Amino acid sequence: MSSLEFIKECQEKVFSGIRISSEDAKNLFNIPNEDLKDLARCADEITRDYNGNKVDVEQLNNIKKNACSEDCTFCGQSAFFDTGIETYQLPTPQEVVVKAKKAKEEGAESYCLVAAWREPSPKDFTNVCKIIAEINEKVGISVECSLGFLTKEQASKLKELKVKRYNHNLETAKSKFSEICTTHTYQDRLDTLEIAREAGLELCTGGIIGLGETREQRIELTLELARIYPEEVTINILVPVPGTPLELQANLPNSEITRMFSIIRFLLPESVIKISGGRETNLEDSGEELLQSGANGIITEGYLTMDGNKSQKDLEMIEKIGLEIK
């Protein structure tokens, strides 16, 4: 069987509502580079069949840029590394509302509140809840949160406040995790996702590629995401931060990036698959090709510690390739 025949066979399984096997996924990951365009095209056809032509556009607000207690080796906000980033505490609800209104006016469908800490203190969590309530009342945009580890009570409160989705990334494969973080475990992250799901929150999870992991570890991460079956997958592409242990990490080839997004689509046909941090830095076309290779979401107007494209530029890109925003 040729590579194209195998890709089409897997695609037909997806169209028939049959989940492809882990062995199928591993074989898709290992198709030759010369067949990558066929893989990407078939992934795009799956995206259109299940999700139409709409692109999920999201903006972030890093509401607490902090010297975080965790030692994630990729992160410029970790207290373990001297990266020289600016730090600040939680803004007022009124300040966040102004930014959320701007995000909505610029075409964002969702607005994610992100905080750099291991978990929210009771006081911080109360203040975040006030911010969410104010956005709900005065803006009317879908609110998502990424607040670290949660208790069951906190997750239930977020659901009560009509938070749509909780973002908590796995970061990398389980077999790689202890190399990039020692202050908490992979299981800690899985436990938080389970707490969020049990509270009725939709899940957003994913990771960072280009951390020095092997292709086999990217397969491992992808299969774990397929097991969880989140409503949204977010894939970041490492941008090495000076002062962190990964500051000299080599870039991942674009072929491996495309391969990752396309195969996630075969495994998760209904999910939003979002191109996140590193999109502008690592991709010459800012993700135009990936939006035709399985992805159907982007983050615009910047990330946690770095700038990104202006929303108008991204909306023009989406229109250029015949897609539309939600």
Domain span holding position 156: 3-325
**Per-residue confidence (pLDDT) for residue 235, from 0 to 100:** 97
Mean confidence (pLDDT) of the chain: 94
Q: Is the dihedral of CA 110, 234, 322, 19 positive or negative?
A: negative
Burial of 268 (C-beta count, 10 Å sphere; 0-12/13-18/19+): buried
pLDDT digits (tens, 9 = 90+) for 19-78: 999 999 999 999 999 999 999 999 999 999 999 999 999 999 998 876 788 878 988 777
**Per-residue confidence (pLDDT) for residue 305, from 0 to 100:** 63
pLDDT digits (tens, 9 = 90+) for 250-293: 999 999 999 999 999 999 999 999 999 889 888 988 899 999 99
H helices present in 142-214, as ranges = 152-160, 174-180, 186-198
First to last CA, the chain: 39
At 3, the pLDDT band (50, 70, 90 cuts) reads very high
Q: Which of 55-69, 74-88, 216-230, 297-311 has the lowest mean pLDDT?
A: 74-88
CA 184 to chain centroid: 20
Burial of 105 (C-beta count, 10 Å sphere; 0-12/13-18/19+): exposed
Q: What is the CATH number for 300? A: 3.20.20.70
pLDDT digits (tens, 9 = 90+) for 112-149: 999 988 899 999 999 999 999 999 999 999 999 999 99
Count CB-CB contacts under 10 A for residue 50. Answer: 15
Domain count, the chain: 1
